[in-house]
Structure 1
Amino acid sequence: MNTMITPAGKSATLGGKYSLITNVCAMDSSVTAVQSDYSVYRGVIGDLLSGQEQLPSLPSITFEIRKAMGQQDLSMMELSRLLAKDPALSAVLLKYASSPLVGSQTPPQNLLDVIRLLGMNQVERITMVHSIKSLFSVHSVKHKRLFLEAWRRLALKASVSTYIAKHMHFKNVLPDNVLMAALLSEVGTLAVLSAFRNSDDTPDIPAYVALCREYAKSLGVITLKQWQVDEQYLKVVQEIGNWKGESPGPPNLSDLINLGLYHSLKLTHTKTDLPPIQELTAYQKLEEPENSVVAGGLTFVMSNVQEIRIVAKSLF
């Protein structure tokens, strides 16, 4: 068991000052007004970081499930009864176990079937996925739009990363950890959004993106430390988007997630200033024939986009 979860209700704090953003995107002619609005948004995030507002905490059912799974004598039947206490989680597990990502010829009919098919470790990870999504309830149409956009991008990145992991068979990367790592790597962007759950002012998409660039990594690391997740996931958050970082040795979990992020940005045309894939540290660790490139991405990814999107939809 790699993931340790603490009970809901704890909050993490970070003291000190925060560096001012140096390049605010002005979306109209009223630059001063845009900067003023952004200053208000930064104040909300500052309150979250300084401990005036609680960071997102995992649901108590997640802690209960994790605690039970730490028992060596836990039976599949006992786990299925515990999972059944959360109907929404049960539905997510059944949907995931029936998805192309799993590829079972006989779709599961109940939670016991799901546990037999996925195994307890994977059930734990899917529970975490559901818990992360459930943390970020929406409070307005604008808030919902931002959440759906963030989760849609997150699901695609997770799907691409998982597909690459299954195709590449990295010796030092466990495929079961990939989905978890991809999702946890975006906790900071969701935490930025959660800062506005009780606020009357919700940022628009450009302001939200700017806030994520400034705060997402810090919020992600603090939140995951609060949840006491395995150190390997913290490292992924710290290295996400670092295309040319120093990372000696064979491809690792951070490399894989960065490849997933790169392709998800390319597929959604979210970022137009991406470096050529050949310049990525993660790419330079790949060997033939997996390093074949077409349309600016790995051939085996770009040739199977439809399948990847189906898997992403199953996570949505």
Structure 2
Amino acid sequence: MATENALLTILVEKINNDTLVLPTLPAIALKVRKAADDPEINLNAMADVISQDPSLSARMIKISNSAYLGRTVKVTSAQQAVTRIGLRQIKNISTALAMEQLFVSKNEIVKQYMSQIWSDTIEIVANSMAALQVHTKLTKNRTLNLDSMMLAALVHNIGVLPILTEAERHADVFANSTFLDVAMDKMAGKIGASIMKEWGFEPEFVHVAENWKDLSVTSDSVSYLDLVRLGAALCGKFESHKDQIFEASIKKGIVENLSQLLTDEFEDLRESAKLIFQ
């Protein structure tokens, strides 16, 4: 308990003193986000930015040709990919594709955590995106969009990264599941909100990162937060509260009944989403 409290004390002090080292987005994601926010940007210029990173360019082309966009005519260049995806979506999708680069560690215990958290995150992303597509088909409500849903689900648990990084710095003391689990449970939401603000993300992403575990935080209309929680419950998170989340999803009209999340169509949508990150 003393060691667990020591880790929490260090984290709290660093947050209060504004000295906690927050992760930074990979350089290519920053470039794309900056370019996307430029009112003068055009498709050709955006394609040039994306082409600076061969890996991102290849994955953008892959997404353009995937069931995610529901197209059958193949594209073969970054320019064609940008044209198909559109400038609005490029910003979120490029950020999403760069996220995996943050989940790396040299410490074996922390590395295992990073790997498991990333794997769990992709499952939650897939469930959330599939649930949104089912909801949109049922209700014709297009208030929420798929690329923002992807990004919201990807960053929902981003607050664990500085905690794991801090544990890696003091591996002999803190790289222990007992301490890490408690620290992440207590601190990840607050830290996640700080990261989202530091990165300049829109309020809805800050809201998800800060509150996804706090079921007392709700909204009147269907939100990305609702869908992240539903996605998490569907892959085994919130075990003691999953019925509450399922009931809230039906009451809010995300789905009419849970059977709509057990169909072959839902599974196909899930798999299409997961393919984006393979």
Q: Which moved more, 1:116-125 or 1:105-114?
A: 105-114
Residue type at the aligned position of 1:42: L
| Residues 1:237 and 2:209 are matched in the alignment | yes
Letter in 2 for 1:259: L
Q: Does 1:110 align with 2:88?
A: no
Shift of 1:47: 5.6
Q: Do structure 1's residue 175 and structure 2's residue 146 form an aligned pair? A: yes
Taking a change above 3 Å as real, the CA distance of residues 208 and 89 of structure 1, as seen in their structure-2 partners, is farther
Deviates more, 1:303-312 or 1:115-124: 303-312
- Three-state SS of the structure 1 residue aligned to 2:153 is helix
3-state secondary structure, aligned to 1:235: helix
1:225 paired with 2:197, answer: yes
The whole-number CA distance in structure 2 between the counterparts of 1:75 and 1:172 is 25
Contact residue 96 and residue 315 of structure 1 kept, 8 A? no
Change over 3 Å in CA distance of 1:152–1:95 after alignment to 2: farther
Deviations 1:121-149 (A, max 9, x none): 22211221133322333213322211110
- 1:301 maps to 2:272: no
Deviates further, 252-261 or 145-154: 252-261
The secondary structure found in structure 1 opposite 2:235 is helix
CA distance in 2, matches of 1:195, 1:310: 35
Match of 1:163 among 111, 130, 133: 130
Aligned residue number for residue 211 of structure 1:
183
Residue identity (%):
16
Unpaired runs of 5+ in structure 1? 1-34, 293-297
Structure 2 CA distance for partners of 1:147 and 1:255, relative to 1, 3 Å: same
- Of the structure 1 ranges 194-203 and 74-83, higher mean CA displacement relative to structure 2 is found in 194-203
Task: Sort the Cα spacing of 1:124 and 1:213 in 2 relative to 1 into closer, same or farther, 3 A.
Answer: same
Q: TM-score, normalised by structure 2?
A: 0.83
Question: Comparing 199-208 with 185-194, which one deviates more in the overlay?
Answer: 199-208
Query: Counterpart of 2:8?
Result: 42
| C-alpha contact (below 8 Å) 2:156/2:208 kept by paired residues | yes
Q: What displacement does 1:306 show?
A: 4.2
Q: Which runs of 5+ in 2 are unaligned?
A: none
- Deviation per residue, 1:36-73 (Å, 9 max, x gap): 44245335534642434421122343332222222333
TM-score, reference length from structure 1: 0.74
C-alpha distance 45-108 of structure 1, shift in aligned 2 (>3 A): farther
Q: Residue by residue, what CA displacement relative to the aligned partner does 1:52-110 show, whole Å, maximum 9, x if unpaired?
A: 44211223433322222223332322212211222332233234334433332234322
Residue of 12, 25, 41 corresponding to 1:58: 25
